[in-house]
Amino acid sequence: MVTIKDIATMANVSRSTVSRVLNNSGYVSEEARQRVEKVIEATGYVPSGYAKSLRTKQTKVIGVILPTIQTETPSRVVTGLGRELSKHGYQILLANTDHDKEKELEYLDLLVRQVDGIVLIATNTEPELTQKIKSMNLPFVMVGQEAENVICVTYDDYHVARDVTAFLVDKGHTQIGFIGVDETDQAVGCFRKKGFYDEMKSRDLSIEEAWVQKGVFDIDSGCKAMKKIIEDSKQRPTAIFAVTDRLAIGAMSYVKRIGMEIPKDIAIAGIGASELSQYVDPPLTTVDYKNETAGEEAAKQLLAFIQGEDYQKKIVLDYRLLSRDSV
Amino acid sequence: MVTIKDIATMANVSRSTVSRVLNNSGYVSEEARQRVEKVIEATGYVPSGYAKSLRTKQTKVIGVILPTIQTETPSRVVTGLGRELSKHGYQILLANTDHDKEKELEYLDLLVRQVDGIVLIATNTEPELTQKIKSMNLPFVMVGQEAENVICVTYDDYHVARDVTAFLVDKGHTQIGFIGVDETDQAVGCFRKKGFYDEMKSRDLSIEEAWVQKGVFDIDSGCKAMKKIIEDSKQRPTAIFAVTDRLAIGAMSYVKRIGMEIPKDIAIAGIGASELSQYVDPPLTTVDYKNETAGEEAAKQLLAFIQGEDYQKKIVLDYRLLSRDSV
DNA sequence: TTCCATCATGGAATCGATACCACATCGCAT
DNA sequence: ATGCGATGTGGTATCGATTCCATGATGGAA
């Protein structure tokens, strides 16, 4: 492997001069610069990243920890992150926890000395996690969940849920079911649920116990949750608010299977604006969360923090309700 | 930041001894080991990865270059890769080209000195690319496309296409349309098309020119391609073979929109076994490519190569045709 | 002529680890 | 007593860059 030393020898200059050419720093005569550049070109020399990192204490790598890349939300966020980071010469080291909270902690340890910063696409906000993050004082951004004392980029889950609920009510529905997820996921589990309950309450609408079910982020569980709602409720709801598109699509697939028509017999709304949502039949009413923007925003804040510039501690992104035929 | 030197001082041993403890190499007395371990524990010391890499010439990082992570195929492959790599202590450096061939080349340059190996989830096999890969002699695996002189993990696109076509013919169809993609993508563009043509020919079935259209890997273009087929053909085909699920789903959405029924008026089949495919109406007949397995296999071959063990130059994965109601 | 910026360049220390080698100790066989 | 292999430890060079400092030219101002 050709090193800076070889380049120096071949160009008949010192390593210092090669380094100056490489980094565009200090004084280098035009003549020397050209000689060096020619040698670099000829040899195809690429500086060793780790030698550089060792010396400069910068890796130009950002660690991204996420629960999975097989769903649209995280993969969109990563796309946004990548786009913004690569503009500034940063790369992404990917850590897929596969929904395993243990691994989340392990990866934090693993990454700490290898990256300039970490982005966590979070599904939980357990104290053990936030504790650890603070303890390793490394530039850090959390996407999708709120936490104390860290930079967060979040969505306004509470108001989204109120809006969706309000939308259903305004369409004339008074009996509305809800398919949520476990509350360890604060953003999706708690805030969206609370938004739903609060809006229903503010409209003086009551909620039958069986109308509220839980799933686990996949289509199949949306299907099962819907089944429970249909089978267990005394009075069937006329509308369903599912906290993710996949749950909503699962619910749709169940109600269609038992011969109900959407939206005539039951209206359904989701959240997430998955690509899928516009091609199911009927197209699903949902909320666009602009995940790529979230990724870009997270990258911007992280880089600002790293570079000692001004950054915003909390960013709450806006959203857009997409009204389609399922309601 | 605490370094190996600090640990050495605190444990009252030399750096060499700490290193030996860290790597479980050479002789270390039980007593010294315990002292060192205690200090490490107490300080939360983590060795610097780049210093280590500089010395050992191993980064324990694999670069993964892909066109996008927003579609299921690459994200499944990455999941498989990650699973297998992390078992062996390797991490993934992600390079998203956003379908830009220029970037593909740039990333190769960028990664070359930072990683122990590269996995390319390929969409093209242009000579410029394969040339470059060979020239940088770095452990390398290509997923999804075949190329000379590199380790490849591929699918049997040709026979898949023949099988799907045969399946349609066996169901009684003789007029079959085809929605493909550009042929710069050898696997998806050429092989699948050739499989279709060859199978049709072997059955003595002719293909009207307008029955064969092209799209670009998204649902919308499947929709447009289908529109062309319907509008331009003298005799409408009774079945459509789309080379990806998204194209197939686009096609479905178009024919449903114009009031045709699936599969009564027209049958549709895709490839890819996207999650989506089982929830569209009717569920889509498709082919399961086991992308995660491909990722795992790619990782295994790459690691075997890196470690100087036996590896297979070409791996062709098997597949499974999923017969559903769309045919 | 002298002096002092400005420009150019190289030498050497350094980053934080590993690994080779030398040396010391110890027990056991000769 | 001597030799020798096994064990344990530290010293030091090294990986490939950056960076600070010293030293030399050069040239225009005083």
Answer yes or no: do A76 and B70 touch at CB < 8 A.
yes
pLDDT class of B128 with cuts at 50, 70, 90: confident
Give the mean pLDDT of chain A. 94
- Helix pair A4-11, A15-23: axis angle to 10 deg: 110
For the cut 90, the answer to whether the pLDDT of residue B45 exceeds it is: yes
Q: Which of A111-115, A273-277, B52-56 has the largest mean confidence?
A: B52-56
CB contact under 8 A, A48 and B113: yes
CA dist B155 → B146, B179, B249, B293, B321 (Å): 9, 19, 22, 11, 13
How much is the pLDDT for B176? Answer: 97
| pLDDT in the model for residue A43 | 94
Q: Residue B279's pLDDT band (boundaries 50, 70, 90)? A: confident
Question: Domain coordinates of chain B in residue numbers?
Answer: 4-47, 58-156+291-319, 157-288
Give the range among A293-307, B77-91, B121-135, B207-221 with minimum mean pLDDT.
B121-135
Q: How many of the other CB atoms lie within 10 Å of CB of B138? A: 17
* B31 sits within 7 Å of strand D by its CB: yes
Torsion on CA atoms B223, B225, B227, B230, rounded to nearest 10: -130
CA-nearest of A152, A146, A158 to A311 is A152
Structure tokens at A195: 């938004």
Architecture of the CATH domain B58-156+291-319: 3-Layer(aba) Sandwich (3.40)
Structure tokens at B215: 């799209």
- Determine the pLDDT at residue B141: 96
* Mean pLDDT, range B311-326, rounded to an integer: 96
Would you say A291 and A72 are in contact if contact means Cβ atoms under 8 Å apart? yes
pLDDT per residue as tens digits for the range A37-87: 999 999 999 999 999 999 999 999 999 999 999 999 999 999 999 999 999
- pLDDT classification of B134: cutoffs 50, 70, 90: confident
Q: Would the CATH topology of B58-156+291-319 be identical to that of B157-288?
A: yes
The mean pLDDT value for A228-255 works out to 95
With contacts defined as CB-CB under 8 Å, which chain A residues touch B50? 49-51, 53-54, 59, 114
Query: Which residue in A113, A115, A219, A277 has the most chain B C-beta atoms within 10 A of its own C-beta, making it the best mutation to test that interface?
Result: A113
Mean pLDDT of A206-217: 94
Residue pointed to by tokens 């610097």: B48
Lowest pLDDT segment from A148-152, B72-76, B235-239: A148-152
What would the pLDDT profile of B104-122 be if each residue is shown by its tens digit? 988 888 898 899 999 999 9
Three-state helix/strand/coil letters over chain A: CCCHHHHHHHHCCCHHHHHHHHHCCCCCCHHHHHHHHHHHHHHCCCCCHHHHHHHHCCCCEEEEEECCCCCHHHHHHHHHHHHHHHHCCCEEEEEECCCCHHHHHHHHHHHCCCCCEEEEECCCCCHHHHHHHHHCCCCEEEECCCCCCCEEEEECHHHHHHHHHHHHHHCCCCCEEEEEECCCCHHHHHHHHHHHHHHHHHCCCCCCHHHEEEECCCHHHHHHHHHHHHHHCCCCCCEEEECCHHHHHHHHHHHHHCCCCCCCCCEEECCCCCHHHHCCCCCCEEEECCHHHHHHHHHHHHHHHHCCCCCCCEEEECCEEECCCCC
| Residues ≥6 apart with Cβ < 8 Å to A168 | A176, A239, A241, A267, A269, A327
Residue A285: predicted pLDDT: 98
CA–chain centroid gap for A251, Å, is 24
- pLDDT at site A275: 87
What share of chain A has pLDDT > 70, as a percent? 100
Contact (CB, 8 A) for A279 and A285: no
User: What's the rounded mean pLDDT across residues B39-66?
Assistant: 95
Rounded to whole angstroms, the Cα distance separating B181 from B184 reads 9
pLDDT of residue A149: 87
Q: Which of chain B's residues have a Cβ under 8 Å away from the Cβ of A113?
A: 1, 46-49
A67 preceded by a cis bond (ω within 30 of 0):
no
Whether the per-residue pLDDT at B22 is higher than 90: the answer is: yes
Give the C-alpha separation, B251 to B249, whole Å: 5
- As a dihedral over the C-alpha atoms of residue B126, residue B130, residue B131, residue B133, rounded to 10 degrees, the angle is 140
Reading the block at residue B233, the tokens are 């053909």
Q: What pLDDT is attached to residue B124?
A: 86
Q: What is the mean pLDDT of residues A120-132?
A: 87
Task: Pull the structure tokens for residue B80.
Answer: 């498989």
Residue among B320, B141, B123, B44 at smallest CA distance from A132? B44
Q: With 90 as the cut, is the pLDDT of residue A131 above it?
A: no
**Closest nucleotide to A8 by C1' from CA:** C10
CATH architecture, range A157-288: 3-Layer(aba) Sandwich (3.40)
| pLDDT, tens digit, 9 for 90 and up, residues A260-288 | 999 999 999 999 999 889 888 899 999 99
User: Would you state the pLDDT for residue A69?
Assistant: 94
Contact check, Cβ <8 Å, A93/B92: yes
How buried is B260 (Cβ within 10 angstroms: 0-12 exposed, 13-18 middle, 19+ buried)?
A: middle
What mean pLDDT comes out for the span A2-16? Answer: 95
CB contact (8 A) between residue B276 and residue A281: no
φ, ψ of residue A206 to 5 degrees: the values are -100, 160
Sequence-distant (≥ 6) Cβ neighbours of residue B257 within 8 angstroms: none
pLDDT band at B27 (very low <50, low <70, confident <90, very high): very high
**Residue closest to B215 by CA, chosen among B224, B206, B207:** B224
B42-51 mean pLDDT? 94
> Using 50, 70 and 90 to split pLDDT, how confident is the model at A127?
confident
Residues 6+ apart with CB under 8 A from A264: none
- Mode of pairing for the β-strands spanning B117-121 and B140-143: parallel
Q: Chain A: give the shortest CA distance to residue B240, in Å.
A: 18
Pick the CATH number of A58-155+291-318 from 3.40.50.880, 3.40.50.2300, 3.20.20.70, 2.40.10.120: 3.40.50.2300
Q: Residue B315: pLDDT above 90?
A: yes
Indicate the length of chain B as a whole number. 327
Which of A286, A218, A288, A287 has its CA nearest to residue A253? A218
Which pLDDT value is given to residue A134?
84
Show residues, CB within 7 A, near nucleic chain C: A 12-17, 20, 26-32, 51, 54-55, 57; B 1, 3-5, 15-16, 18-19, 22-23, 25-26, 47-48, 51-52, 54-56
In this predicted structure, what is the pLDDT of residue B280?
Answer: 86
Residue A320 pLDDT grade (very low, low, confident, very high; cuts 50, 70, 90): very high
Q: How much is the pLDDT for A135? A: 85
Is B126's pLDDT higher than 90?
no
Q: Give the whole-angstrom CA distance, residue A42 versus residue A31.
A: 17
B94/A96 CB distance under 8 A: no
Q: Is the pLDDT of residue A126 over 90?
A: no
Residue A251's pLDDT is what? Answer: 96
Least confident of A278-287, B13-22, B32-41: A278-287
Chain D nucleotides near the protein (CB, 7 A): 7-12, 14-21
Task: Work out the angle at residue A269's Cα, subtended by the Cα atoms of residues B76 and A220, and round it to the nearest 5 degrees.
Answer: 40
